[in-house]
Amino acid sequence: MKKITILWILILIPYFVFANAEKKSKEMCDCLKEAKISQTENDKKECLNLREKHVKALKKGSKQHEGYLKSLSSCEQELAGVPQVDPNLTTEEKTKVVCDCMKNASKQNRMGCFKLQSDYAKTISDMEEKKAFNLNSQTCGE
């Protein structure tokens, strides 16, 4: 009986740990959305304080923290108007998405386009194809 209880605890701990990180990233995303809408300094400060609280609770550098950052990155891309990565696109389609992002992004949002370019490059396993993608997607932003 004791072994079964310990087994259940070991099985459920990762679930609650990652659920906690997911919950915190959603909370942070909601805060960022609210701050973007309101544009008030108090809302922006509240988000900074919330992020500090989350980083402290999730222990910076831990797997929980990494999961939190990954989920949060997706939210930040959405807020910046940068499309989500679709690994099923062809290399030409990926290049077009990156180029469209660069063309339509304001100076402030261009960093999101560079991240999009990097994320798409990671989805290409063939080294020659990846080189071509990097060259083509770099030149469209100029």
Tokens of 116: 């999009």
1-21 pLDDT, tens digit each? 566 665 545 454 444 444 477
Pairwise CA distance, residues 58 & 5, whole Å: 26
CB-based contact 112:80 (threshold 8 Å):
yes
Average pLDDT over residues 67-83: 81
16-36 pLDDT, tens digit each? 444 477 888 889 889 988 988
Pairwise CA distance, residues 36 & 38, whole Å: 6
Locate all alpha helices (DSSP H) within the chain, ordered by sequence. 2-38, 41-58, 63-80, 91-104, 110-122, 127-139
The number of helices, as runs of H, and strands, as runs of E, in the chain is 6, 0
102-132 pLDDT, tens digit each? 888 777 678 888 888 999 999 999 999 999 9
Q: Three-state SS string across 47-62, please?
A: HHHHHHHHHHHHCCCC
CB-based contact 140:98 (threshold 8 Å):
yes
DSSP letter, residue 89: S
Domain positions in the chain = 2-80, 91-139
b/e per residue 53-82 (b: at least 16 CB within 10 A): ebeeebeeeeebbebbbebbeebbbeebeb
Identify the pLDDT of residue 70. 82
- pTM of the shown model: 0.56
Collapse the DSSP code of 102 into the 3-class scheme (helix H, G, I; strand E, B; otherwise coil) and give the result.
helix
- Considering only CA atoms, give the Rg of the chain: 19
